[in-house]
């Protein structure tokens, strides 16, 4: 059985948002996305995959489809297959987001 300690998987990059993989199978993946202030994941789409975002620390602006909203720790959203989505850390604090995607692209 694979186990992880979330705190051990947190790392940031000064250049861009950092994806830290927790679990991956042929069908799905689970990552921690770590954002420094001002960093973002540009809006993009996945044709055949759904993506769930759950904020673990901080707050960010999440865009799904035509809507944008600020999510804080303990809040989440879903981007269904084909919906444009992206995240921006608009704050002065670090942002950590748990991301689950299936099926894996």
CATH number at residue 22: 2.60.120.10
How many other C-beta atoms can be found within 10 angstroms of the C-beta atom of residue 29? 20
The neighbour count for residue 60, using CB atoms within 10 Å, is 26
In a domain, 59, yes or no: yes
Compute CA distances 46 → 40, 56, 104, whole Å. Answer: 17, 23, 10
Signed CA dihedral, 64, 68, 69, 71: sign only:
positive
pLDDT digits (tens, 9 = 90+) for 20-35: 999 999 999 999 999 9
Residue among 30, 83, 21, 26 at smallest CA distance from 53: 30
Residue 29 inside a domain? The answer is: yes
Tell whether 1 is covered by a domain: no
Q: Is the pLDDT of residue 105 over 90?
A: no
pTM: 0.96
Q: Which residue range(s) make up the domain with 76? A: 6-102
pLDDT, one tens digit per residue, over 90-101 is 999 999 999 999
Q: How many domains does the chain have?
A: 1
């Amino acid at each position: 059985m694979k186990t992880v300690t979330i705190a051990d998987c947190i790392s940031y990059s000064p250049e861009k948002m950092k994806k830290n993989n927790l679990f991956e199978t042929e069908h799905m993946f689970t990552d921690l996305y770590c954002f420094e202030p001002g960093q973002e994941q540009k809006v993009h789409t996945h044709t055949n995959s759904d993506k769930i975002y759950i904020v673990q620390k901080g707050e960010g602006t999440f865009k799904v489809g035509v809507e944008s909203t600020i999510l804080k720790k303990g809040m989440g959203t879903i981007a269904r297959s084909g919906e444009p989505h992206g995240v921006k850390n608009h704050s002065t604090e670090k942002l950590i987001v748990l991301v689950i995607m299936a099926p894996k692209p």
